Structure 1
């Protein structure tokens, strides 16, 4: 009968509004929780149908959804490892329990986190979320990595107490050789240049370079020099000898015309480098490309080594770690050296609202969210990773309090209907009396 259906519908209304009250209480309780995503409750009517002249109430059904794709406001902080996403995407994390126990790491994701190294150097939050990334070389190369699985991601570990050396692998020469020395009446003395570099063990080594003019043109300048290189680590010197001929045309006067190696590795004209085999490995020596303005020059001016550059650094201790907008975790040492340790990708899924919420503002993929893909920060559809920042809760207190008032009224009204139905049934019972 209609009275029974009215009571059942009101009971469904009480249950639905109770569910909505639960989401409102969660949202308000987490108004100050960084990275919290508010939950909404949607009501759908249940239609049972109607009989001959009588209406049968169906009631209401409640469904909840966490709005993950809504972005919270970015709040700045004083910690370099307070991280937040600016735009779409999430940070890849795993559980400290999985890291401690070993084995396969569970893949989770979060929008923000306050990360710090623990006693083992693992970069984690206070609630146990461990930041993951791809290990890199000092210049940021990750090598081949998987983008659709977490197989190549590793928990980020920072060893702050171990000294680190960064050997030199590249040396660039920028200098002028006096053109007049290649005349028959020029000086035959070699022009010396010492370039210090850092060895594999952090030692300071040196390349001793000698530029000797070739006076082979009896009528003027030959524009040719012989270059010999000795290495302080090598038992056999010179490690390389080559001849440089400079252009004397109006268009490219003073630029390199050709480089011919007489001992050691061959000259690469495309990159302008000569590979040097030193005592600790290989150093690429940049001398310049043909017709370019960089590297070695020959003009009618004095010998001037004006731009000598090299990479590498002596042994140093870690003083600071920061994550840049490209997702590179950059380490700064007390020697002034800066190098990349890891690259943190940005995780994205087709349906962010289909993610399943976990403890600590973390999420995992589900069939509703679709599979994840690991993008470079700022690439594709994703935003960038921001340091010194946290993402605030998406809860709007004023809106939730408004929902609270309407929910309370709806709950009271459904309870009133039940009371009314009870009174009507009581009247029906009284007819028998």
Structure 2
């Protein structure tokens, strides 16, 4: 009976609009929830009979809902360096801090933003219990090669702010000018000295002393010097070299030849020598043959031009920073910055196919497709924003407008049911 189908269609309309109102209420309730992705209800007609013929049976409507995970909100600035958000495409890998504390399996979840703080174990976690995951760096600060189609290489990011750290010096570069007049006949032959600090294997400060002694000829100019390198830790000469400088019209003042007397042999290709200090070898660069940026001998005073070295003394970590490419750095009170972790961004073909969980987290499914762990800023992914959180994707004004439409539609469907009820009552009243 078509009048009965009208009643069923009205009931279906009430249910569909109730579902839509539920999505609207959820969206409005999370208007201030960082990283919230709104839910949308869509209506689909149900046809149980064709429109041809004399009778028509109403099929009604059904509602389906979908969370629009690929549509994010704007990013707002904060004062916390480990407040993170993803600009454009990609997701941060996280895990349940409770499961990690209990020694359980590390299940990777995904999120787009989070206010991460250090907990009692040194892990970066949110107030909702999400631990940030990343790839740990090697001792030299490089990131090893990890598989990109699995979370097997990811570890909870752990920051030990109480750990002291130092790094021994392995490279020293010396660029300076020696006074050409010191190698002229009749010169006093004054020795020029310079001391360069380096750090040993325990982070203690030591020094390399560079002593330049000019060769004073009987007549003319020799353009020759003797370099002795002394290690303060050993108290002995660890390298001696005879230096000859060019006096040509276009190459005057540049190194012409280096002869090794003792210590590591001079490498003309790299312009360096290897000397052995108390803690091990150090590569000392004095410049290539003919290079005006290394050792020079010009008609000027003794002048150190550039002294460079690696390594740093023992220091305490003062803060943690995250850059746009997802690298996590430890900043130390010695002015040194060390790479600790790299946070990849996870991407998949269909983000809307993921399963939504509590605390704005998601889990991949067959509908979302296979995921891949990208370097932030590469491939299809965006970048990591520190000092920032993603706002809710809810547009309150739009949701209130949808609520008005839903209320009107719900009232109209209720009116259909009331009308059908009255018509059925009239039918029942035919026979009294």
* Both structures adopt the same fold (TM-score exceeding 0.5): yes
1:297-376 aligned at under 5 Å gives the runs 297-376=296-375
Q: What is the RMSD computed on CA atoms of the aligned residues?
A: 2.6
SS in 2 for 1:404: helix
1:133 correspondence with 2:141: no
Deviation, structure 1 residue 123: 1.0
Deviations 1:273-299 (A, max 9, x none): 434433223433232344444332222
Do the aligned partners of residues 312 and 112 (structure 1) sit closer, same or farther apart at CA in structure 2, a change above 3 Å counting? same
Map of 2:43 onto structure 1: 43
Map of 1:70 onto structure 2: 71
CA distance in 1, matches of 2:79, 2:108: 28
Matched-pair contact (CA < 8 Å) for 1:138–1:339: no
Q: Which shifted more, 42-51 or 273-282? A: 273-282
CA distance in 2, matches of 1:144, 1:286: 31
TM-score by length of 2: 0.90
Do the aligned partners of residues 21 and 138 (structure 1) sit closer, same or farther apart at CA in structure 2, a change above 3 Å counting? same
Map of 2:172 onto structure 1: 171
Q: Which shifted more, 106-115 or 333-342? A: 333-342
1:2-401 aligned at under 5 Å gives the runs 2-50=2-50, 52-102=53-103, 104-137=105-138, 140-183=141-184, 185-186=186-187, 190-213=191-214, 220-234=220-234, 237-257=236-256, 259=258, 261-269=260-268, 271-401=270-400
Deviations 1:63-97 (A, max 9, x none): 21111222311111111111122222222222212
Deviations 1:340-359 (A, max 9, x none): 22222222222222232222
CA distance in 2, matches of 1:268, 1:372: 49
Q: Which shifted more, 283-292 or 395-404? A: 283-292
Q: Which shifted more, 280-289 or 64-73? A: 280-289
CA distance in 1, matches of 2:379, 2:206: 44
CA distance in 2, matches of 1:267, 1:4: 100
Deviation, structure 1 residue 53: 1.9
Q: Which shifted more, 354-363 or 254-263? A: 254-263
CA distance in 2, matches of 1:7, 1:267: 97
CA distance in 2, matches of 1:219, 1:138: 56
Do the aligned partners of residues 113 and 251 (structure 1) sit closer, same or farther apart at CA in structure 2, a change above 3 Å counting? farther
Matched-pair contact (CA < 8 Å) for 2:175–2:306: yes
SS in 1 for 2:84: strand
Matched-pair contact (CA < 8 Å) for 2:117–2:126: yes
Deviation, structure 1 residue 241: 3.8
CA distance in 1, matches of 2:251, 2:228: 25
Matched-pair contact (CA < 8 Å) for 1:327–1:385: yes
Matched-pair contact (CA < 8 Å) for 1:138–1:340: no
CA distance in 2, matches of 1:361, 1:222: 77
Q: Which shifted more, 143-152 or 38-47? A: 143-152
Q: Which shifted more, 102-111 or 266-275? A: 266-275
SS in 1 for 2:367: coil
Matched-pair contact (CA < 8 Å) for 1:140–1:328: no
TM-score by length of 1: 0.90
Do the aligned partners of residues 293 and 9 (structure 1) sit closer, same or farther apart at CA in structure 2, a change above 3 Å counting? farther
Deviation, structure 1 residue 188: 5.2
Do the aligned partners of residues 242 and 349 (structure 1) sit closer, same or farther apart at CA in structure 2, a change above 3 Å counting? farther
Question: Aligned residue pairs: how many?
Answer: 431
CA distance in 1, matches of 2:164, 2:113: 31
Matched-pair contact (CA < 8 Å) for 2:10–2:413: yes
Q: Which shifted more, 51-60 or 179-188? A: 179-188
CA distance in 1, matches of 2:277, 2:194: 17
CA distance in 2, matches of 1:285, 1:213: 21
Deviations 1:155-189 (A, max 9, x none): 11111123222332332212112234345655556
Q: Which shifted more, 70-79 or 220-229? A: 220-229
Q: Which shifted more, 16-25 or 339-348? A: 339-348
Matched-pair contact (CA < 8 Å) for 1:140–1:343: no
> Structure 1: which 5+ runs fail to align?
none
